[in-house]
């Protein structure tokens, strides 16, 4: 864990804070941001959390979610904290963050992603890619400041641990993760509520969409890869959203003999979301994502392509606007 003293100094020196988490926020981004907000409020600070996108339905149970703002004025705050975001643009507030920098206000970067360009902008960087989730760093900071961990804070932190370890199933489920999970349960963390909302509840539209994605799973003829695709037409027909696909790529990655799984999801305005997962030791899928300006972790990464999905006969083709780097052919895959 990095030296936490510079972060603690910022929290002790100012009163009005803004916390930003990344676009399309996951459980770790939301849990870490809201836990930090609640913890700082317990110390008498005034804190606002901002996120460009509305959190997905499965996360609506997290305490404090209803207070998240979707815009702000930098002049209203003394200091900025960016949580769980490895890329400036993915915050959705790049211009506002750069304004914080121009105003000379402190910017604290708390993250666990190996790729992080925010360190060039931030005043203080607390980045540790060896931990499974950003909530582990936030918990360490809160304990360093002798913050009381309430049941709500424990639930927020536990949500981040649960989601970023795939429900404690991924290879990043270390002894340290389980030890912290135990500590949070003892502090009143509501694991049953987390599991029920994130893993044990699926709408009819979600199940139909999963059925489409699983029906389209194909094995690469030469490589130990499995691939699937979901189109905008599928989303409309199933009355579902992109958020409903959470967990699909992990499921198709469970096929025996698979080294990695890739899910292509067609988004509006000629965007294609690409999610990559692996559980194989020695495989780093973040290197693939970085070729396209994306990022993430060794075992879970992603990026976006500008392109379109075309069906010719019985085959699907993904044709990006920018040619595929390795071949320059303009065609990523087909099946």
- Name the residue ranges covered by the structural domains of the chain: 5-198, 204-334
For the chain, the average pLDDT equals 87
Q: Are 59 and 65 in contact (CB under 8 A)?
A: yes
Q: Which band of pLDDT confidence, cut at 50, 70 and 90, is reported for residue 18?
A: very high
Q: What mean pLDDT is predicted for residues 274-285?
A: 87
Percentage of residues in the chain with pLDDT exceeding 70?
94
How many whole angstroms from its chain centre is CA 287?
Answer: 17
Closest alpha carbon to 141 in 172, 151, 270, 131:
131
- Report the topology of domain 5-198: inorganic pyrophosphatase (n-terminal core) (3.90.1640)
- What does the alpha-carbon distance between residue 135 and residue 145 come to, in Å, rounded to a whole number? 15
Q: Are 240 and 258 in contact (CB under 8 A)?
A: no
How many whole angstroms from its chain centre is CA 259?
Answer: 22
- Going by their DSSP bridges, the two strands 300-312 and 333-334 should be labelled as unpaired
User: How confident is the model at residue 335, as a pLDDT?
Assistant: 33
* pLDDT over 80 at 98, yes or no: yes
The CATH class of the 204-334 domain is alpha beta
User: How confident is the model at residue 87, as a pLDDT?
Assistant: 83
In eight-state DSSP terms, residue 93 is -
* pLDDT over 90 at 200, yes or no: no
Q: Which band of pLDDT confidence, cut at 50, 70 and 90, is reported for residue 194?
A: very high
Q: Are 69 and 93 in contact (CB under 8 A)?
A: no
Q: What mean pLDDT is predicted for residues 148-177?
A: 93
* pLDDT over 70 at 116, yes or no: no
The more confidently predicted of residues 307 and 320 is 307
Q: What are phi and psi of 319, to 5 degrees?
A: -115, 105
**pLDDT tens-digit map of 287-316:** 888 888 787 778 888 888 887 777 776 677
The more confidently predicted of residues 269 and 214 is 214
Q: Which band of pLDDT confidence, cut at 50, 70 and 90, is reported for residue 334?
A: very low
User: How confident is the model at residue 308, as a pLDDT?
Assistant: 78
User: Of how many residues is the chain composed?
Assistant: 335
Q: Which band of pLDDT confidence, cut at 50, 70 and 90, is reported for residue 328?
A: very low
Q: Are 6 and 124 in contact (CB under 8 A)?
A: yes
Following DSSP, what letter does each residue of 206-218 receive, concatenated? HHHHHHHHHHT-E
CA gyration radius, the chain? 20
Q: What mean pLDDT is predicted for residues 166-184?
A: 93
Q: Which two tokens stand for residue 238?
A: 């199933």
**pLDDT tens-digit map of 117-134:** 788 888 999 999 899 999
User: How confident is the model at residue 314, as a pLDDT?
Assistant: 66
**pLDDT tens-digit map of 22-75:** 988 999 999 999 999 999 999 999 999 999 999 988 899 999 999 999 988 888
Q: Are 272 and 318 in contact (CB under 8 A)?
A: yes
**pLDDT tens-digit map of 238-253:** 998 888 888 888 888 8
* pLDDT over 60 at 323, yes or no: no
């Amino acid at each position: 864990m990095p030296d936490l003293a510079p972060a603690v100094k910022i929290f002790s020196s100012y009163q009005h804070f803004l916390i930003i988490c990344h676009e399309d926020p996951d459980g770790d981004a939301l849990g870490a941001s809201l836990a930090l907000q609640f913890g700082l409020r317990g110390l008498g600070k005034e804190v606002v959390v901002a996120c460009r996108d509305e959190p997905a339905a499965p996360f609506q149970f997290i305490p404090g979610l209803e207070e998240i703002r979707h815009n702000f004025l930098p002049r209203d705050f003394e200091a900025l904290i960016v949580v769980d975001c490895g890329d400036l643009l993915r915050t959705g507030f790049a211009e506002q963050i750069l304004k914080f920098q121009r105003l000379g206000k402190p910017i604290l970067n708390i993250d666990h992603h190996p790729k992080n360009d925010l360190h060039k902008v931030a005043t203080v960087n607390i980045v540790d890619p060896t931990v499974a989730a950003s909530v582990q760093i936030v918990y360490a900071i809160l304990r360093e400041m002798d913050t009381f961990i309430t049941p709500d804070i424990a639930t927020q932190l536990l949500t981040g641990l649960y989601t970023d370890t795939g429900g404690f199933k991924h290879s990043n489920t270390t002894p340290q993760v389980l030890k912290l999970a135990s500590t949070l349960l003892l502090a009143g963390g509501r694991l049953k509520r987390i599991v029920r909302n994130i893993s044990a509840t699926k709408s009819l539209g979600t199940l139909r969409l999963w059925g489409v994605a699983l029906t389209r799973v194909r094995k690469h003829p030469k490589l130990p890869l499995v691939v699937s695709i979901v189109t905008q037409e599928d989303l409309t027909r199933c009355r579902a959203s992109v958020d409903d696909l959470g967990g699909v790529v992990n499921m198709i990655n469970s096929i025996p003999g698979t080294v990695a799984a890739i899910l292509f999801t067609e988004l509006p305005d000629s965007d294609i979301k690409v999610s990559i997962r692996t559980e194989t030791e020695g495989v780093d899928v973040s290197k693939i994502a970085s070729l396209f300006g994306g990022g993430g972790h060794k075992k879970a990464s992603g990026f976006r392509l500008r392109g379109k999905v075309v069906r010719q006969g019985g085959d699907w083709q993904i044709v990006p606007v920018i040619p595929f780097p390795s071949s320059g052919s303009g065609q990523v895959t087909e099946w």
